[in-house]
Amino acid sequence: MTSTIGVFDSGFGGLTVLRALVQRLPQARFAFLGDTARLPYGSKSRRTIARYAMQSAQFLVQEQQAEFLVIACNTASALALDAIQEAVPVPVLGVIQPGAQSARAASHSGDVLVIATDATVHSHAYAAACQALNLRALEKACPLLVPLVEEGWINHPVTEQVIRVYLDEVTADATAQGLSPDTLVLGCTHYPLLRPLIEHLAPAGISVIDSAESTADTAAQLVGGKSADPDQLTASTTDTEIHCFATDSVEKFERLGSRFLGRPVGKVELIDLGG
Amino acid sequence: MTSTIGVFDSGFGGLTVLRALVQRLPQARFAFLGDTARLPYGSKSRRTIARYAMQSAQFLVQEQQAEFLVIACNTASALALDAIQEAVPVPVLGVIQPGAQSARAASHSGDVLVIATDATVHSHAYAAACQALNLRALEKACPLLVPLVEEGWINHPVTEQVIRVYLDEVTADATAQGLSPDTLVLGCTHYPLLRPLIEHLAPAGISVIDSAESTADTAAQLVGGKSADPDQLTASTTDTEIHCFATDSVEKFERLGSRFLGRPVGKVELIDLGG
């Protein structure tokens, strides 16, 4: 199969989703767009996020002939999935629904915690997706985690302290609401880089769910690629064709992007979406 | 005097400059624009920052009839002052030059530290402005301070720890370069909210300079307003006419803005710069 899969994020974080996609669909061609001139989306309004996301989606479909789109950004998935689906004539998959489905599979108590950006939390998209699966979700905005990841403080004592503050707050809220959460969803594509620290600091008995992995599983099923067989995920993916585009500072993208993709991102092309 | 002074920032931080301006020019009319849909500028490229800043400046001059512009954003001042001056037919004042002049007045050793965003530091605008005044400046990027202020962690132990890390690093660098800094410039309009903490944590004998204050002094001199006589600064400014505009999320602007302006910002009008 040689079809193009378009992957879109406001920045670099979505490269964690691209990484998981490449492992499952190594024969596909990928076009990744980071709308870095206008990041972060996480602190902006629905109207603005939808406008930016639609322009980005149209670029991938019209200019890059993407036949399938993955919105590798929780904020855009939470606030603009409908708008994007209306704006382009190809199937569009967001990260919220797969994340909620993985939480459903993992949770015994039926109570889950979701950590995400301000905008994702205020949209209550995870709460709605979880409720549809008969899960109760408590959402917690963690606006400092993205800047900490972008500063490269992945294993820094400050990051540990910040995660501790956020987890203490959400755990206290859960107790106050009579919830018994056993699952924590990483509701932002930057957070997988903090997964070891979050798993270390989370209360005992909490499973951590990375929506990048579950989104890639769903995408692979939809486009008929490889299964998520762990043995297959170790297959070489260095030959997979990946084209990266950014709306700002390709140098920074090239420098930071490899941290998320787990390999060099190669040459990044600067594009102008008119914003 | 009833002329309009336009004040521009990528977000809310510039309201610290507006606050200082209102104290000195209570009879002027102020139009403040926060380009909140595209913030933060501090992590973006020169080309993108210049494009955004020119659109914002043109709005204030063409739509709000501003006769004098203050770029209340260190990043835009550092990377786009020339571009803005070419784009509009009115005098334009940035925050870098006044900040450097205050540092010159405060420093005995001739060595100063400047803390700022990534983009401001990489532009080396402060180093150049200081060098022209025969000062040696060591610039330090502190990208976590803006998110911490926006999270409202003004007196938080985490913020204290982050400031300590940054100050330790820049002090060690200064020592390694044989500098003896006695002055620290707050090179970002968010940082005045952290001034008490920064003054508490800075090494003994370091004076902290707030470029908001020095910019307002310079603007007042240029437009012929009141002097910076401290007695006059206590005069009531509640009647001063202030119109605020934002490109995104006026609710958030109204909610957070008062923290920076030191009084309610009033009704904020949403505008579209086409981005």
Q: What's CA A60's distance to the chain center, in Å?
A: 18
Please indicate, yes or no, if residue A86 is contained in any of the structural domains.
yes
Instruction: Compute CA distances B40 → A147, A175, B103, B249, B252, whole Å.
Output: 11, 36, 26, 14, 15
- Report the distance separating Cα A244 and Cα B210, nearest Å: 41
State what percent of residues in chain A have pLDDT above 70.
94
Same domain? A223 vs A200: no
Mutate to test the interface with B, among A48, A121, A167 (most CBs of B within 10 A): A48
Nearest CA in chain B to A162: B158
Whether residues A45 and B249 touch (CB distance < 8 A) is answered with yes
* pLDDT of amino acid B208: 97
Same domain? A205 vs A220: no
Rounded to the nearest integer, the mean pLDDT of chain A is: 92
Considering only the beta carbons, identify the residue of B44, B157, B252 that sits closest to A249: B44
Same domain? A77 vs A101: no
Whether residues A158 and B158 touch (CB distance < 8 A) is answered with yes
Lowest mean pLDDT among A165-179, A214-228, B99-113, B222-236: B222-236
Angstroms from A217 CA to nearest CA on chain B: 33
Domain end residue (candidates: A192, A211, A230): A211
* Chain A residues closer than 8 Å to B252 by CB: 43
Angstroms from A39 CA to nearest CA on chain B: 7
Same domain? A206 vs A127: yes
Q: Does position B116 have pLDDT exceeding 60, yes or no?
A: yes
Instruction: Compute CA distances A97 → A115, A139, A213, whole Å.
Output: 15, 15, 12
Q: How confident is the model at residue A225 (pLDDT cuts 50, 70, 90)?
A: low
Summarize the confidence of residues B5-18 as an average pLDDT: 94
Q: Report DSSP letters for A74-98, one per residue.
A: HHHHHHHHHHHHHHSSS-EE-SHHH
Task: Spell out where chain A has E strands.
Answer: 4-9, 29-34, 68-71, 92-93, 111-116, 136-141, 183-186, 207-210, 241-246, 268-270
Using alpha carbons only, what angle is made at residue A72 by residues A67 and A73, rounded to the nearest 5 degrees?
135
Please indicate, yes or no, if residue B147 is contained in any of the structural domains.
yes
Catalytic residue among A130, A142, A188, A244: A188
Three-class DSSP category at A271: coil
Q: Does position B11 have pLDDT exceeding 60, yes or no?
A: yes
Whether residues A37 and B43 touch (CB distance < 8 A) is answered with no
Domain membership of residue A198 as a residue range: 96-211
Catalytic residue among B130, B142, B188, B244: B188
* pLDDT of amino acid A116: 96
Q: Enumerate the H helices of chain B as residue ranges.
A: 15-24, 46-58, 74-87, 96-106, 118-123, 125-132, 145-150, 157-176, 195-201, 211-223, 230-233, 250-261
Summarize the confidence of residues B181-185 as an average pLDDT: 98
Summarize the confidence of residues A6-27 as an average pLDDT: 93
Instruction: Give strand pairing partners of A189.
Output: none
Q: How confident is the model at residue B101 (pLDDT cuts 50, 70, 90)?
A: very high
What is the reported pTM?
0.89
Please indicate, yes or no, if residue A121 is contained in any of the structural domains.
yes
A–B interface: beta-carbon pairs under 8 A: 68
Domain end residue (candidates: B211, B230, B253): B211
Catalytic residue among A73, A130, A142, A244: A73
Same domain? A56 vs A162: no
Angstroms from A248 CA to nearest CA on chain B: 6
Please indicate, yes or no, if residue A12 is contained in any of the structural domains.
yes
- Report the distance separating Cα A159 and Cα A169, nearest Å: 15
Chain B residues within 8 Å of chain A (Cβ atoms): 36-39, 43-45, 48, 143-144, 146-148, 150-151, 153, 157-158, 161-162, 165, 247-249, 252, 274-275
Nearest to residue A89, comparing CAs of A62, A50, A116, A118? A62
Q: Does position B93 have pLDDT exceeding 60, yes or no?
A: yes
Contact B15, B190 (CB under 8 A): no
Same domain? B135 vs B85: no
Angstroms from B180 CA to nearest CA on chain A: 28
My answer on whether omega of the bond before B147 falls inside 30° of 0, hence cis, is: no
**Secondary structure letter of residue B203 according to DSSP:** P
Contact A46, A76 (CB under 8 A): no
Catalytic-residue membership of B188: yes
Q: Does position A231 have pLDDT exceeding 60, yes or no?
A: no
Please indicate, yes or no, if residue B187 is contained in any of the structural domains.
yes
Considering only the beta carbons, identify the residue of A45, A147, A248 that sits closest to B143: A147
Same domain? A167 vs A244: no
Q: Does position B211 have pLDDT exceeding 70, yes or no?
A: yes
ipTM of the complex: 0.86
Whether residues B157 and A157 touch (CB distance < 8 A) is answered with no
Same domain? B89 vs B219: yes
Please indicate, yes or no, if residue B149 is contained in any of the structural domains.
yes
- Inter-helix orientation angle A15-24/A250-261, to 10°: 50
Same domain? A19 vs A47: yes
Task: Summarize pLDDT for B223-275 with one digit per residue, the tens.
Answer: 975 555 555 554 556 789 999 999 987 888 888 898 889 888 988 999 998 76
- Name residue, tokens 């784009």: B87
Per the structure, the count of domains in chain B is: 2
Same domain? B90 vs B182: no
Whether residues A158 and B165 touch (CB distance < 8 A) is answered with yes
Q: List Cβ neighbours of B139 (8 Å cut-off, separation of 6 or more).
A: B113, B114, B115, B116, B120, B121, B124, B126, B127, B187
Q: List Cβ neighbours of A71 (8 Å cut-off, separation of 6 or more).
A: A8, A9, A53, A57, A77, A80, A81, A84, A92, A93, A94, A95
CATH of the domain at A86: 3.40.50.1860
Nearest to residue B162, comparing CAs of A69, A34, A57, A153? A153
* Chain A residues closer than 8 Å to B143 by CB: 147, 150-151
Catalytic residue among B73, B130, B142, B244: B73
Three-class DSSP category at B235: coil
Summarize the confidence of residues B50-75 as an average pLDDT: 96
Mutate to test the interface with A, among B10, B12, B43 (most CBs of A within 10 A): B43
Mean pLDDT comparison of A163-177, A243-257, B239-253, highest-scoring range: A163-177
* Chain A residues closer than 8 Å to B45 by CB: 248-249, 252
Summarize the confidence of residues A223-228 as an average pLDDT: 63
* Chain B residues closer than 8 Å to A252 by CB: 43, 45
**Secondary structure letter of residue A247 according to DSSP:** S
Considering only the beta carbons, identify the residue of B37, B144, B248 that sits closest to A147: B144
Whether residues A144 and B143 touch (CB distance < 8 A) is answered with no
* Chain A residues closer than 8 Å to B162 by CB: 158
Please indicate, yes or no, if residue B275 is contained in any of the structural domains.
no
Please indicate, yes or no, if residue A275 is contained in any of the structural domains.
no
Same domain? B32 vs B44: yes
Using a CB cutoff of 8 Å and minimum separation of 24, what contacts does A236-243 make? A236/A26, A237/A22, A237/A23, A237/A26, A238/A263, A239/A26, A240/A22, A240/A26, A240/A27, A240/A28, A240/A30, A241/A29, A241/A30, A242/A18, A242/A22, A242/A30, A242/A32, A242/A266, A243/A29, A243/A30, A243/A31, A243/A32, A243/A64, A243/A269
Q: How confident is the model at residue A82 (pLDDT cuts 50, 70, 90)?
A: very high
Considering only the beta carbons, identify the residue of A147, A157, A248 that sits closest to B48: A248
Domain end residue (candidates: A188, A211, A234): A211
Virtual torsion, Cα B35, B40, B45, B46, nearest 10 deg = 50
As separate numbers, helices (DSSP H) first and strands (DSSP E) second, chain A gives 12, 10
Q: Does position A12 have pLDDT exceeding 90, yes or no?
A: no
Summarize the confidence of residues A129-143 as an average pLDDT: 97
Whether residues B38 and A43 touch (CB distance < 8 A) is answered with no
* Chain A residues closer than 8 Å to B248 by CB: 44-45, 48
* pLDDT of amino acid A233: 54
Same domain? B148 vs B250: no
* pLDDT of amino acid B138: 98
Compute the Cα dihedral for B128, B129, B133, B137 and give only its sign: negative
Catalytic-residue membership of B142: no
Contact A113, A185 (CB under 8 A): yes
Nearest CA in chain B to A49: B37
